């Protein structure tokens, strides 16, 4: 064992202890997969990351570091809050990117770009990985609705989303419906396992959102909106346009995630493509569990969706591993 630099950071918040915590081991060199998994289980956080030098091939493509991401039970190919949190910790620890305006992270899903340009007022934002999505069977939508404790009529749209993690998205009829959910976690775990997906996220437009009426429009009108979305208000943490909750199986049962970058990334790609959300908005997540998470979404002129958020360091020191 040796002393290794370590940070614990809070992600998707600018106030410590109101976001999603992440443990970051800033030098994972020489640790086996089993040792990483054991430590991640010990931290008992939703995710723990280990920073390593990039592989030669990835370095040649511009990667600044490699990260491995673990829940308490398994390794993940990609996750959003570990991406932003690890980048924050790496930069704060003295990491210097090859390109001053863009950090490039290597992970199991490939290379992920993390920008800190003016589009997010200095916040880091990662480029959402390529998304695979498809419709779910009516039976699965009904099973998820039943497990979440809502009527099928509360579900306005649904989609199976995969950007590394495989999860399911439901667009509900109102933010009140989202906030009032009381899932049956045992039943939900059975549905998720049977469908081979790791979690389910629910979202709804906030009252007064520029797109509140879109879910009542025809598919033709929605496609037209997606091609020519209206101007939207400036991105601000004070006026979220979407309320989000995410429930996932962390290996010891299903729980609610404070703030979920990977789900918000795939959710944004889906909703914007279908004309159900504007090209720029802020999502609120964690409200029901005492968290004030804010996820900042922006689709650029090239069609790339970026997912941004603040990060705050809560603990700095060393860990014996």
What confidence tens digit (pLDDT) does each residue in 29-67 have? 999 999 999 999 999 999 999 999 999 999 999 999 999
Q: Do domains 3-128+309-320 and 132-295 have the same CATH topology?
A: yes
Neighbouring residues of 246: CB distance < 8 A, sequence distance ≥ 6: 167, 199, 200, 201, 202, 256, 257, 260, 263, 285
In the prediction, which pLDDT does 182 show? 96
DSSP letter for 257, please.
E
Give the whole-angstrom CA distance, residue 161 versus residue 169.
Answer: 7
Neighbouring residues of 62: CB distance < 8 A, sequence distance ≥ 6: 98, 99, 104, 111
Residue 128: pLDDT band by 50, 70, 90 thresholds?
Answer: very high
Residue 253: pLDDT band by 50, 70, 90 thresholds?
Answer: confident
Maximum Cα–Cα distance for the chain, whole Å?
Answer: 61
| Higher-confidence position of 218 and 1 | 1
Give the whole-angstrom CA distance, residue 144 versus residue 141.
Answer: 5
C-beta separation of 269 from 87 below 8 A: no
Relative to beta strand 242-249, strand 280-285 is parallel
The pLDDT of 207-236, averaged and rounded, is 42
The pLDDT of 89-110, averaged and rounded, is 95
Task: Say which of 34, 47, 75, 221 is annotated catalytic.
Answer: 47
In this structure, the number of other CB atoms found within 10 A of the CB of residue 44 comes to: 10
DSSP letter for 241, please.
S
Give the whole-angstrom CA distance, residue 113 versus residue 305.
Answer: 11
**Phi, psi for 41 (deg, rounded to 5):** -65, -35
In the prediction, which pLDDT does 29 show? 98
Residue 116: pLDDT band by 50, 70, 90 thresholds?
Answer: confident
- Classify domain 3-128+309-320 by CATH number: 3.10.310.10
C-beta separation of 34 from 68 below 8 A: no
Q: Is 47 one of the catalytic residues?
A: yes
- Classify domain 132-295 by CATH number: 3.10.310.10
DSSP letter for 120, please.
G
Domain ranges of the chain: 3-128+309-320, 132-295
pLDDT in tens, 159-211: 999 999 999 999 999 999 999 999 999 999 999 999 999 899 999 998 865 55
Of 109, 111, 64, 70, the C-alpha closest to 89 is: 64
- State pTM to two decimals: 0.89
Residue 227: pLDDT band by 50, 70, 90 thresholds?
Answer: very low
Give the whole-angstrom CA distance, residue 24 versus residue 69.
Answer: 9
Give the whole-angstrom CA distance, residue 11 versus residue 20.
Answer: 5
How much of the chain exceeds pLDDT 70, in percent? 90
């Amino acid at each position: 064992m040796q002393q290794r630099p370590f940070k614990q950071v809070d992600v998707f918040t600018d106030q410590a202890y109101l976001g999603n915590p992440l443990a970051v081991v800033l030098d994972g060199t020489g640790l086996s997969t089993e040792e990483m998994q054991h430590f991640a289980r010990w931290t008992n956080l939703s995710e723990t990351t280990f920073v390593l030098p990039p592989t030669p091939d990835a370095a040649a493509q511009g990667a600044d570091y490699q990260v491995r991401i673990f829940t308490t039970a398994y390794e993940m190919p990609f996750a959003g809050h570990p991406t932003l949190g690890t980048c924050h910790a790496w930069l704060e620890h003295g990491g210097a990117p090859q390109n001053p305006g863009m950090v490039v992270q290597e992970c199991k899903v490939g290379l992920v770009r993390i920008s800190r340009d003016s589009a997010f007022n200095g916040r880091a934002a990662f480029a959402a990985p390529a998304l695979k999505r498809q419709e779910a069977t009516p039976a699965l939508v009904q099973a998820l609705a039943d497990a979440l404790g809502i009527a099928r009529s509360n579900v306005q749209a649904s989609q199976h989303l995969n950007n590394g993690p495989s999860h399911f998205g439901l667009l509900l009829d109102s933010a009140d419906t989202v906030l009032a959910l009381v899932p049956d976690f045992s039943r939900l775990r059975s549905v998720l396992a049977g469908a081979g997906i790791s979690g389910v996220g629910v979202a709804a437009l906030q009252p007064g959102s520029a797109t509140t009426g879109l879910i009542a429009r025809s598919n033709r009108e929605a496609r037209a909106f997606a091609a020519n979305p209206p101007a939207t208000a400036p991105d601000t943490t004070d006026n979220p346009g979407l309320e989000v909750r995410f429930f996932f199986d962390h290996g010891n049962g299903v729980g609610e995630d404070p703030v979920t970058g990977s789900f918000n990334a795939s959710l944004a790609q889906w909703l914007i493509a279908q004309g159900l959300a504007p090209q720029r908005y802020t999502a609120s997540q964690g409200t029901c569990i005492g968290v004030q998470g804010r996820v900042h979404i922006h689709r650029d002129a090239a069609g790339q969706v970026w997912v941004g958020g603040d990060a705050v360091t809560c603990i700095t020191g060393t860990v014996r591993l």
